Each structure stands twice: as structure tokens, then as C-alpha cells.
Amino acid sequence: MGKVSPEARERYLEKVNQFGKHIEDISKREEMILQTINQESVGSEFKKIRLADENLNLASYYILMNNLSLSLLGVKNEAFLNNARKLIYKVLIYLEQVVTDSIDYSFSEYGDKVLAIDAYDPLSRLTLCNKIGLTIQRVSDGFGDNSKWKWSFVELEGRLAVVCKNFLNQKTLFGDLDPDKEFYEIKFNHLNLAKKLLDQAASRYREKYELSSFQIEDFKVAIKLLEGLRKLFIAINRHNDADNLKRKIDTWQQKLDYDLKKKDLEKKGRG
């Protein structure tokens, strides 16, 4: 790394201080919104969605500050990146409180939560999901492939996939895909995004299981994500796709059962 000029260092500190003030302002707004939620629960769903968006803005400032460190000082600032990573968790927690974090529930078990945010327009839902996905990717890219946090992003991707799916009203989804319906294109794109995220997250969880964690729970999550995708196919009457996916799920389940038996035999052998 070359020597950093005083001008570059001064420029860096100036911009970081500027961004720091924005971060402080957003954090104060978050505290105020949380106070109103504690005082009045009516409309809390929309306030939590706003908090999710505000925390994404916070994360973007930390990403920008790391970029400044790279461009002006020539070094990666992992503290800034880690702050952004933690903020993505906060974003997802807020949204999970709105539409649940469960991939297992049938729509009838959480549909009332989706109906409660019916006034939240389709474009904003899609934009928010895309924004979260982009933020996850930017932070992951910032850390690089050799980071100790590499596999933690699998969880973030999976949780985003579930939230994106749960934002959809599966009861009306088939009818919403009529090209003559208002918001058809937006809801079609949202559905495709949810399908893509669920499929990718399932593959990533299996990859994590086979290459890193070797934890059965990761493989179970992968299968649950595929089952969530299958529910979407059923909701839009894509029964052939649902049947094809069921065969894939069965194959993965057979592999899981085999690995469970193998681990059990190994445990008994050590005993």
C-alpha cells in the first residue's frame, strides 16, 4: 500500500464525519418511531416497514464509508462493513415482525398480517426487496470471498427470500397475474423475484451444508425453502412445476435421510 497523502486523509475524515451526521440523524428518527410504536400499536406495521427502509439507508452510508476508505486510504474498513451487515439483520427482523419469518406456515396462518398492510403499494414492496438484496450483495462483495462472514450471508439471503414470499398475497395471487389487472407487471416481477430468491437460497444453504457447516439443520432449511417455492407454484396453479419441484425435494430429503443415518452410525461407532 502506498503512502496516504495528507489531502486524501483530510478528505476521508471530512466525508466520514459528514456521513456520520446523517447516521446520527437516522438513528434519532428510529428512536422516535420506536417510541410511537410503544405508545400506540395501531399502524405499527407501516412504521416497522419505514424503520426497515431507514436502516437500509444506514447500511448504505457504512458501505459508502468503506468505499471511501478503499479509494482514499487504500484499505478496506471491515468495521464499517460489519456495521452494515448487522443493520441488514435489523432490517429483516423489522419485516419479519410484519409478515412473519416462517417458511412453514400456510397462507391462512399469516394472511391476516398481509391484509393488514394491504395499503402498502406493490411497487414499494418490490423495490424494498430488491434494495435489501442489493445491500446484501454489496456488503458480501465488500468483505470478499475469503471473509470469515462468507457463510453468514446465506442466512441473510434465506431470510430475505422468505420475507419476499410472505409479502405476496397468495390468496389473490393467481387472479393478480391477469394482464388486465392493475399492478400486473409489478406483481409478476415480485413473484419472479420471490421464486428466484427461494431457489437460490435453497441451493446456497445446501452448499453451506456440504462445504462448510456440515450441520443437518442447514440442509433442512434448504428443503424448507424449496417447499416454500412449491407453495408459490401451487398458489398460481403451476401444478406441473410444483410436481417437478416435489421430485427434487424428495431427492434432497433422501440425501438428508441418508446423511442422518450415516451420522448416527458414526456416533454409535465412536460410542
Task: Give the model's pLDDT for residue 266.
Answer: 85
Cell of 260: 442422518
The band of 3, judged by pLDDT with boundaries at 50, 70 and 90, is: confident
Query: Residue 197 sits in which domain range?
Result: 6-204
Residue 22 falls inside a structural domain: yes
Residue 130 falls inside a structural domain: yes
Rounded Cα distance, 168 and 173, in Å: 7
Q: Given the C-alpha cell 430429503, which residue does it identify?
A: 253
Asked whether residue 2 carries a pLDDT value surpassing 70, the answer given is no
Lowest mean pLDDT among 85-99, 159-173, 209-223, 256-270: 256-270
DSSP type of residue 120:
S
Q: Phi then psi for 62, rounded to 5 degrees? A: -65, -35
Rounded Cα distance, 46 and 119, in Å: 9
Residue 221 falls inside a structural domain: no
Let me know how long the chain is. 271
Nearest CA-CA partner of 58 in 21, 11, 10, 96: 21
Nearest CA-CA partner of 126 in 163, 85, 171: 163
Question: 179-211 pLDDT, tens per residue?
Answer: 999 999 999 999 999 999 999 999 999 999 999
Q: Given the C-alpha cell 403499494, which residue does it identify?
A: 121
3-state secondary structure of 106: coil
Residue 268 has a CB neighbour count (10 Å cut-off) of 8
Cell of 14: 471530512
State CA 220 to chain mean position distance: 18
Asked whether residue 269 carries a pLDDT value surpassing 80, the answer given is no
Question: 15-45 pLDDT, tens per residue?
Answer: 999 999 999 999 999 999 999 999 988 899 9
Residue 67 falls inside a structural domain: yes
User: For the chain, what is the domain count?
Assistant: 1
Cell of 233: 407454484
Residue 219 has a CB neighbour count (10 Å cut-off) of 22
Q: What is the dihedral of CA 51, 56, 60, 65, to 10 degrees?
A: 60
Nearest CA-CA partner of 242 in 252, 229, 230: 230
Summarize the confidence of residues 138-147 as an average pLDDT.
96
Residue 256 falls inside a structural domain: no
Residue 254 falls inside a structural domain: no
> Which amino acid belongs to residue 43?
G
Residue 138 falls inside a structural domain: yes
Question: 216-252 pLDDT, tens per residue?
Answer: 999 999 999 999 999 999 999 999 999 999 999 999 9
Asked whether residue 267 carries a pLDDT value surpassing 90, the answer given is no
Residue 126 falls inside a structural domain: yes
